[in-house]
Amino acid sequence: MDAPRTSRGFTEHERARAADLYWEAFSRKLRPALVDDATGLALVRTALSPDRVLVARAGGSVVGICGFYEGNKGAVDLTWAGLRGRLSAAASVRALLLLAPLSRRAQRDALVLDGICVDPALRGRGIGSALLEAATDHARSRGARAVRLSVVDTNPRARALYDRLGFEPAGSGSLGPFGAVYGFSGYTVMERAVAR
């Protein structure tokens, strides 16, 4: 595999591939809100924003993406109107309620990440690390002092990657009784300082 190249945004031609990667990685967490795989994937395909996604490509294909928050929107901006395009009013209300505990906000001092994922067949080859370097560069260009992310307690391999790249614990949280719905309960907030 060629060394991955990273840049911000994807083309409309790449939208389905980027959304497939996102859904493959995060469907366990999102499916309870978005009903089933077909509906969830369709919603993510529509709502994934190229403006808030860093993309890794190798051999001309998208091999990984890293979302981030900007202007209080994440990589996947599931609005009422977007949900109603696929779901009933009741199911849309339910989706927004279930998604609310997972939502983060953009912050002035730090670039807050919203889902990093790599093609399962290509993991362990440095693509995730390249995306986190790209996120750090993007944070620096915005004048942020840190890159911030949340990692769930059931994902020790991702946590090991963040530890290795110099992210440090900066807080923690729990979804309480919602944990059973999403398949995880506790999470750790981690930060990587942006060198000037």
Ligand X SMILES: CC(C)(COP(=O)(O)OP(=O)(O)OC[C@H]1O[C@@H](n2cnc3c(N)ncnc32)[C@H](O)[C@@H]1OP(=O)(O)O)[C@@H](O)C(=O)NCCC(=O)NCCS
Give the binding site for ligand X (CB under 6 A). 25, 116-118, 123-129, 151, 155, 157-158, 160-161
Least gap, CB of 192 to ligand X (angstroms): 13
- Phi/psi class of residue 154: alpha, beta or left (left: φ > 0; alpha: ψ in -120 to 50)? alpha
CB closer to ligand X out of 34 and 132? 132
For ligand X, the nearest residue by Cβ is: 128
Considering beta carbons, is residue 13 or 164 the nearer one to ligand X? Answer: 164
Residue 18 to residue 67: CA distance in whole angstroms: 11
Which amino acid type is present at position 17? Answer: R
- Strands 5-8 and 146-152 come out as unpaired
**HSE-up of 126 (CA within 13 Å, CB side)?**
8
Looking at residue 4, the DSSP 8-state letter turns out to be: P
Minimal distance, residue 49 CB to ligand X, in Å: 18
Task: List Cβ neighbours of 152 (8 Å cut-off, separation of 6 or more).
Answer: 184, 186, 187
Task: Give the length of the chain.
Answer: 196
The residue (of 118 and 194) whose beta carbon lies closer to ligand X is 118
* 142/157 with CB nearer ligand X: 157
Please report how close the Cβ of residue 128 comes to ligand X at its closest, in angstroms: 2
Least gap, CB of 1 to ligand X (angstroms)? 11
